[in-house]
Structure 1
Amino acid sequence: MITVVISVSSLHKREERRVDEVKEEKRVKKYPNSPLFKNWDAALTEEEQMEAEELFQRYGYNTFLSNRLPLDRELPETRHYRCLEREYPKDLPTISVVLIYLDEALSIIKRAIYSIINRTPAHLLREIILVDDHSSNGDLKEPLNAFVSLIHVTRPGLVKQVRHSSQLGLSQTRISGWKVAGGDVVAILDAHIEVNKGWAEPLLARIKEDHTVVLSPVFDKVSCYDLKLTNYKPSAQGFDWAMWCKYEAFLPQWYARNDETLPGKSPSIMGVLVADRVFFGEIGALDPGMKMYGGENVEFGLRVWSCGGSIEVIPCSKIAHLERAHKPYMPELKYLMQRNALRVAEVWLDDYKHNVNIAWRLPLQNHGIDIGDVSERKKLREKLKCKPFQWYLDNVYTSLKPFNILGYGNLQNDMNTDACVDQGPVPGHTPILYQCHSYTSQACYYHSSGKIYIGEIQSNMDQTNRCLVDPGSGELPQLHECKKAKKTGLNMHWDFKQGSAIQNRETKRCLEVKDIELVMQECSGQNWRITNVVKEF
């Protein structure tokens, strides 16, 4: 018999090496190009990395981490200190909270529910309504039912569930939740949220004062990579001419009051909204003809303001909103967003509806997109005696400026009809001719002022858009931000008629084609055409 004697120190050294090897294994990044691991520094084994990456691609956020965080985790206090000093009436309206989802991670939904139960006074919370827009995720069936049953042990009937038999989209899903609601106020939220302390009272107090005001809390951002919260300051919610929502500054009057806790008027609303339940129905709820995603919140905001209500952001109400890195359940949204935007335009924008076509670079006529039947929505507009869109521009959304575009689309020279004017390499200042395609780099716009924009266009055009200029010397035309071009006195105004020359007003030189290049030279009679004409020019 052979006896092997190993010293204690040798065992310790061997164990330390094993631990070091495990740590080293965890440091190996199997997915070095993954957005998740570029933004989330976690020591995982290869198997854990594979699981985390698969879940990230499936849901668009870090579900691996979400599944391991406490469901009732604490959120940092992000309210202004004055909010903490405010007192609210005891006899506030009751609230029904609607959570809508499609193939959401179960832990995300559970955390949303826990936050609502833990941070909403029990006597104010009428119910939580879960609306499933036909999810295929098995976790959202029996496992979710079991979780709801567990809640009902202490809060019987608190959580209600609605499941669609087919996917209907955001508008119909929100409508389904509202129809089930029984509270005085309905809050329609995404399921990937966590409400913060004191979120409900300032909303309910404001609606108690005025039942025609539709409210939005302030959204703090939850990172899709590490699920950490970033405090967001209050801001208004607007949109561009593509009917896509964006953040805006409040009106100057709000800032002049020097109190960040006061409600601020907002021209529109994001998807999350809080409203008097009866008023929401009286004003027409949401347009059921909007499909899947995009534009439904803009349509609702226009209708609220134009038809007797108003919209405000409530700074003392904070909700943490998880932003996805991508929308895995609907990778191609462009067509639906175009379709819904055109539907909004047809019902609400009056003489300005062509701005939507310009924003999406769609023909004014025969664009080939079926927007559905809008006759009932037009009847609703008449029934509610809604104000014209011009009133909305003059009194509500004064910073939304019409494009005032005369022509838009591809800009082509008769000398080479297979090539289009292109913004060229970015960064860079030299436009080029390039084989025609449908991408943004070849989007050209002729403005009523004589400016020619090339590339992506923004509603506040002189701030960010790029203007074609004649430098006055040399052969090549240039592109510069319009604001900079105006400030430095660059030659940025052009005379152009469809099917004729493009001539700079200051230098009198023409934009022409020479040896398959764009050049500035003495006019030789070359002619240009742009795809779509809004007004004859």
Structure 2
Amino acid sequence: EAPPKLEENPAEAFTDSSLFAHWGQDLSPENRRIALKQFQYYGYNAYLSDRLPLDRPLPDLRPNGCRNLTFPERLPEVSIVFIFVNEALSVILRSIHSAIDRTPAHLLKEIILVDDNSNNEELKEKLKKYVDEVNARKPGFIKVVRHSKQEGLIRSRVSGWRVATAPVVALFDAHVEFNVGWAEPVLTRIKENRKRVISPSFDNIKYDNFEIEEYPLSAQGFDWELWCRYLNPPKSWWKLENTTAPIRSPALIGCFIVDREYFQEIGLLDEGMEVYGGENVWQCGGSVEVLPCSRIAHIERAHKPYTEDLTAHVRRNALRVAEVWMDEFKSHVYMAWNIPQEDSGIDIGDISERKALRKKLQCKTFRWYLVSVYPEMRMYSDTVAYGVLQNSLKSDLCLDQGPDTENIPIMYICHGMTPQNVYYTSNQQLHVGVLSPTIDDDDNRCLVDVNSRPRLIECNYAKAKRMKLYWQFTQ
């Protein structure tokens, strides 16, 4: 389907929309209405995107030292894969143009477009016409893969990889813009060691006005629910006092570049995943790096209007990863999602192939990974029980952390979501709410008796102050 047909009603001001907070004040009411309809459909300002040049300059946001680096003359070629579903055509074309403009021609072998069954008509004939025009000048330069049904991000990446012919494959969303000099640092690191999987450093394309916002340098990781997150670079990186140095990263958030054959050797990505994948690179002998001198700007949508809630998919994928890769620490994933390890009621599919792959590759344990690669991750092996704490007199009421801005627990209708998660430890502490993922995050909050009424106080602080934070339960 195309973006929703515009209604015939008189235009409204739409002053309450986040789209118009920093943009569009000079638009006519009719054009504001058109822009808002497109924003609701795409999750970003497609109206503005359609009016911006496809070849636009970007601010050079690389650390200063990057401009002085030199790279080998002979580097491997790269195939760039763009994955999309119902993306605005101008956004896709700008991704392509920036890739061509800012990748040395002798290094860019081809561009592969993977359409994961879009039903937006604009992405059929108009896109085909553009591809045909480019290929008329440079035969076979742009290849298009179209799925007959929606396969999801993981299988779309694999589809693009299968078509790629360059020694290195770059897998990207189709709403990015490449910055100057992005390719040479990446290809150099992979040439030096083909078992490196590389992520660029990301900046933000603001969804409303398409301005570029610089993001701080970061590593990439996850919490115990296996949601992706940015991390502070490790202490070892800061000690180098060299902002051009590669950043050792525990995980990959999304877009990455990899040696094409190595990607197959480590089992591609888990095609049993329905949305996002968990990468197994570190445990199986590879490494993951973020490069400060390779910068890509990426649109962070205000919302994903054509995508269903990802929570159920991420939960299923998280359990799948946990069962294959996490050994005794799989319990942490079940705890974080607050579901039982036995009879969870969630079908994670067949994982026998993934387990066989792990055995074949002689991959290391997850404990090794936590100690050697992701030491910032908190461990919760002392948890002896988890779930919700029901009121014994009124069973439909549960202990709840209450408003985020306060530290006063309440009794609330049981709903089983994160604010009611309770974790009981072997030393008789009760953690309430979300499990703190890393030592850089706020500490867990413990239920504490402060005489007047219970409070939620950071556990280490309560322990240091010798507060009453130990609870005994008897049948």
TM range (shorter): over 0.9
What is aligned with 2:472? Answer: 496
What is aligned with 1:17? Answer: none
Given that 2:24 and 2:32 are in contact with CA atoms closer than 8 Å, whether structure 1 keeps it comes out as no
What is aligned with 1:399? Answer: 376
Given that 1:238 and 1:246 are in contact with CA atoms closer than 8 Å, whether structure 2 keeps it comes out as yes
> 1:420 aligned to 2:403?
no
Q: CA deviation at 1:101?
A: 0.7
> Given the alignment, which residue of 449, 456, 460 partners 1:470?
449
Q: What amino acid sits opposite 1:453 in the alignment?
A: H
1:315 and 1:275 map into 2 onto residues whose CA distance is 17
Q: What amino acid sits opposite 1:330 in the alignment?
A: T
2:86 and 2:384 map into 1 onto residues whose CA distance is 44
**Residues 281 and 467 of structure 1, relative CA distance in 2, 3 Å threshold:** same
Q: What amino acid sits opposite 2:445 in the alignment?
A: R
What is aligned with 1:160? Answer: 143
Q: What amino acid sits opposite 1:451 in the alignment?
A: Q
> Given the alignment, which residue of 305, 326, 332 partners 1:328?
305
Q: CA deviation at 1:222?
A: 1.0
**Residues 30 and 447 of structure 1, relative CA distance in 2, 3 Å threshold:** farther
> 1:319 aligned to 2:302?
no
Given that 1:420 and 1:433 are in contact with CA atoms closer than 8 Å, whether structure 2 keeps it comes out as yes
CA root-mean-square deviation: 1.7
Q: CA deviation at 1:39?
A: 4.3
Mark the runs of 5 or more structure 2 residues left unpaired by the alignment.
1-10
What is aligned with 2:418? Answer: 440
1:281 and 1:432 map into 2 onto residues whose CA distance is 51
What is aligned with 1:119? Answer: 102
Q: CA deviation at 1:57?
A: 1.0
Given that 2:114 and 2:145 are in contact with CA atoms closer than 8 Å, whether structure 1 keeps it comes out as yes
Q: CA deviation at 1:371?
A: 0.3
Structure whose CA Rg is larger: 1
What is aligned with 1:431? Answer: 409
Name the SS of the counterpart of 1:281 in structure 2: helix
Q: CA deviation at 1:423?
A: 1.8
Q: CA deviation at 1:66?
A: 0.6
Offset from partner CA, 1:265-322 (integer Å, 9 cap, x none): 111111111011111111111111101x23x0xx21xx21111111111111010011
Given that 2:446 and 2:469 are in contact with CA atoms closer than 8 Å, whether structure 1 keeps it comes out as no
Q: CA deviation at 1:34?
A: 1.5
2:163 and 2:143 map into 1 onto residues whose CA distance is 9
Name the SS of the counterpart of 1:438 in structure 2: coil
> 1:263 aligned to 2:241?
no
Q: What amino acid sits opposite 1:477 in the alignment?
A: P
Given that 2:75 and 2:188 are in contact with CA atoms closer than 8 Å, whether structure 1 keeps it comes out as yes
Given that 1:129 and 1:162 are in contact with CA atoms closer than 8 Å, whether structure 2 keeps it comes out as yes
Q: How many residues align?
A: 463
What is aligned with 2:433? Answer: 455
2:374 and 2:15 map into 1 onto residues whose CA distance is 45
Bigger relative CO (Cα 8 Å, ≥ 6 apart): 2
Offset from partner CA, 1:321-356 (integer Å, 9 cap, x none): 110111122131111111000000010001110111
What is aligned with 1:182? Answer: 165
Mark the runs of 5 or more structure 1 residues left unpaired by the alignment.
1-27, 501-526, 528-537
Q: What amino acid sits opposite 1:463 in the alignment?
A: D
1:445 and 1:186 map into 2 onto residues whose CA distance is 43
> 1:365 aligned to 2:342?
yes
Stretch of structure 1 that moved more, 71-80 or 420-429: 420-429
Q: CA deviation at 1:482?
A: 3.5
Q: CA deviation at 1:428?
A: 2.2
**Residues 141 and 396 of structure 1, relative CA distance in 2, 3 Å threshold:** same
Name the SS of the counterpart of 1:371 in structure 2: coil
> 1:408 aligned to 2:391?
no
**Residues 63 and 484 of structure 1, relative CA distance in 2, 3 Å threshold:** farther
Q: What amino acid sits opposite 1:459 in the alignment?
A: P
> 1:240 aligned to 2:218?
no
1:82 and 1:362 map into 2 onto residues whose CA distance is 48
Name the SS of the counterpart of 2:296 in structure 1: strand
Q: Once the two structures are aligned, what percentage of the paired residues are identical? A: 48
What is aligned with 2:8? Answer: none
What is aligned with 2:133? Answer: 150
Q: What amino acid sits opposite 1:408 in the alignment?
A: Y
Given that 1:463 and 1:482 are in contact with CA atoms closer than 8 Å, whether structure 2 keeps it comes out as no
